[in-house]
Amino acid sequence: MDESSRERLARMRGDEEGSFEVLVIGGGFAGTAAAINLARARRKVCIIDDGKPRNRSSEHMHGVLGSDGVRPTTLLERGHTEFAAYGGVIFQDRVESLARVGGDNWVAETESGRSLTASQTLVATGITDSLPEVPGLRDMWGSRVFHCPYCHGYEATGKSVGVIGGKNPAFTFKMASLLTKWSESVTLHLNGLDPTKEQLQKLEATGVVLDRDGVVRVSPAAENDTSVEVMTASGTIRYDACFTGPDFIPNDQLLRKAGCTVVDGWVSVEGGKTSQPGLWAVGNVVSSPDQVSQAIGTGAGVAIAIDQFLFDEEFSG
Ligand SMILES: Cc1cc2nc3c(=O)[nH]c(=O)nc-3n(C[C@H](O)[C@H](O)[C@H](O)COP(=O)(O)OP(=O)(O)OC[C@H]3O[C@@H](n4cnc5c(N)ncnc54)[C@H](O)[C@@H]3O)c2cc1C
């Protein structure tokens, strides 16, 4: 290997301070799975994570092989420990800006003043769930109020279920109908939503009861279970389990500012690659339906793609 190749390799591997081969922005399920696989591939990797995974307020996570019922933050802590054991670097910090500098490097500037550099950057910053504006709802989000029947529907089997509407109509109607797979008693509080004729037919066909009164407030019904009281103009109703349909807002500002192509409101990726060279994205930030298992799986897949991309670059003469 000649001198210039050696210099180039050293630069790509990140021998300078604050310089890495791969930056992973967001250390949730997708980002951490990717980072572990990259570290095991002997890449110099850094996770920058501000510690707010989407399901952090849930005590139990479901549908994740070998980890059913585990607290989500416990699984992530295990992942971060595994990553660090392979030499990975984690900064508890927030990336404020990301820009391509000097042709082939991405520079991330953080809230605490760090400046981190790599030729490849993976953004795995998740989404923000924007809930209907009902007093009391946010306080119970993730502990008594859920959105995904496949994550928390089983726990509602045979119980009375209340669904609070107000946002994301298509998702809310579909979710309310799906919940009848687990419960024969599902009431949807439309709370301002206005179903189309076809949506109404599906709701009726699946046996969802509609309540058209606005929701005034929701609150816990008891201390020792997940029951919820829903107050409307006509009175207060108690449910054993409660769901709602949030708007799913991707945390994709870094990607958009970097110039990534956006299609139908979402940054588009192909095998994790964005339209910008050296910039990758994975998990909920580019795919809102992904559950934990999918986020982990796609994270691992993109890690391999990044490693092989770097491998090919290193030996491309
Ligand atoms: C209430 C609730 C319950 C759920 N329960 C389940 C369940 O039981 N089973 C299941 O399979 N799925 C469940 N999910 C879905 C699960 O949360 C997601 O599938 C998963 O979190 C997606 O992983 P991710 O890595 O894409 O995003 P996240 O896990 O949300 O991770 C994103 C990370 O990026 C960080 N971040 C964001 N912006 C920045 C920045 N600028 N700088 C640094 N860090 C940043 C965040 O702090 C966060 O740590 C649930 C979701 C919710 C909302």
Ligand 1, atom 52, residue with closest C-alpha: 55
Mean pLDDT of 77-97: 97
Measuring from each residue's beta carbon to the nearest atom of ligand 1, which residues come in under 6 Å? Answer: 25-31, 48-55, 58, 61-64, 94-95, 124-126, 129, 142, 146, 148, 151, 251, 283-284, 290-293, 295
Q: What percent of the chain has pLDDT over 70?
A: 95
Mean pLDDT of 15-25: 86
Ligand 1, atom 31, residue with closest C-alpha: 28
What is the predicted pLDDT for the residue at 16?
54
Q: Is the pLDDT of residue 122 over 50?
A: yes
The rounded radius of gyration (Å) of the Cα atoms in the chain is 22
Q: Is the pLDDT of residue 14 over 80?
A: no
Q: Is 200 exposed, middle or buried (0-12, 13-18, 19+ CB in 10 A)?
A: middle
What is the predicted pLDDT for the residue at 160?
98
What is the predicted pLDDT for the residue at 11?
46
Burial 182-197 (b: 16+ CB within 10 A, else e): bbebbbbbbbebebee
Using the Cα atoms of residue 80, residue 84, residue 88 and residue 89 in order, give the sign of their dihedral: positive
Confidence label for 103 from pLDDT (cuts 50, 70 and 90): confident
Ligand 1, atom 1, residue with closest C-alpha: 142
Choice from 147, 292, 293 to test ligand 1 binding pocket (greatest atom count within 8 A of CB) = 292
Q: Give the global pTM.
A: 0.94
Say how many Å lie between the CA of residue 16 and the centre of ligand 1. Answer: 31
Work out which ligand 1 atom sits closest to the CA atom of 299: 25
DSSP letter (8 states) at residue 308: H
What is the predicted pLDDT for the residue at 317?
63
**Max Cα–Cα distance, the chain, nearest Å:** 80
Taking the C-alpha atoms of residue 146 and residue 126, their distance in angstroms, rounded to an integer, is 17
Choice from 23, 36, 55 to test ligand 1 binding pocket (greatest atom count within 8 A of CB) = 55
The structural domains of the chain, with segments of one domain joined by +, span 3-126+251-314, 130-247
Confidence label for 6 from pLDDT (cuts 50, 70 and 90): very low
Ligand 1, atom 45, residue with closest C-alpha: 26
Confidence label for 104 from pLDDT (cuts 50, 70 and 90): confident
The answer to whether domain 3-126+251-314 and domain 130-247 are alike in fold is yes
Q: Round the average pLDDT of the chain to a whole number and report it.
A: 94
Residue with tokens 């107000």: 166
Distances (CA, A) of 95 to 32, 33, 110, 165: 16, 19, 4, 34
Ligand 1, atom 41, residue with closest C-alpha: 95
The token duo for 241 is 């389990």
Q: Is the pLDDT of residue 37 over 90?
A: yes
What is the predicted pLDDT for the residue at 17?
72
Mean pLDDT of 12-36: 87
Q: Is the pLDDT of residue 113 over 50?
A: yes
Say how many Å lie between the CA of residue 125 and the centre of ligand 1. Answer: 8
Say how many Å lie between the CA of residue 28 and the centre of ligand 1. Answer: 6
Residue 238 CB coordination number (10 Å): 12
Task: Please tell me the CATH code under which domain 130-247 is placed.
Answer: 3.50.50.60
Q: Is the pLDDT of residue 166 over 70?
A: yes
CB 183 within 8 A of CB 160: yes
Choice from 23, 54, 80 to test ligand 1 binding pocket (greatest atom count within 8 A of CB) = 54
User: What are 256-314's pLDDT values in tens digits?
Assistant: 999 999 999 999 999 999 999 999 999 999 999 999 999 999 999 999 999 999 999 98
Choice from 125, 167, 298 to test ligand 1 binding pocket (greatest atom count within 8 A of CB) = 125
Say how many Å lie between the CA of residue 95 and the centre of ligand 1. Answer: 16
Inter-axis angle of helices 292-314 and 3-13, nearest 10:
160
DSSP, collapsed to helix, strand or coil, labels residue 157 as coil
Taking the C-alpha atoms of residue 199 and residue 210, their distance in angstroms, rounded to an integer, is 12
Task: Please tell me the CATH code under which domain 3-126+251-314 is placed.
Answer: 3.50.50.60
User: What are 172-228's pLDDT values in tens digits?
Assistant: 999 999 999 999 999 999 999 999 999 999 999 999 999 999 999 999 999 889 999
What is the predicted pLDDT for the residue at 21?
97
Confidence label for 3 from pLDDT (cuts 50, 70 and 90): very low
Work out which ligand 1 atom sits closest to the CA atom of 57: 1
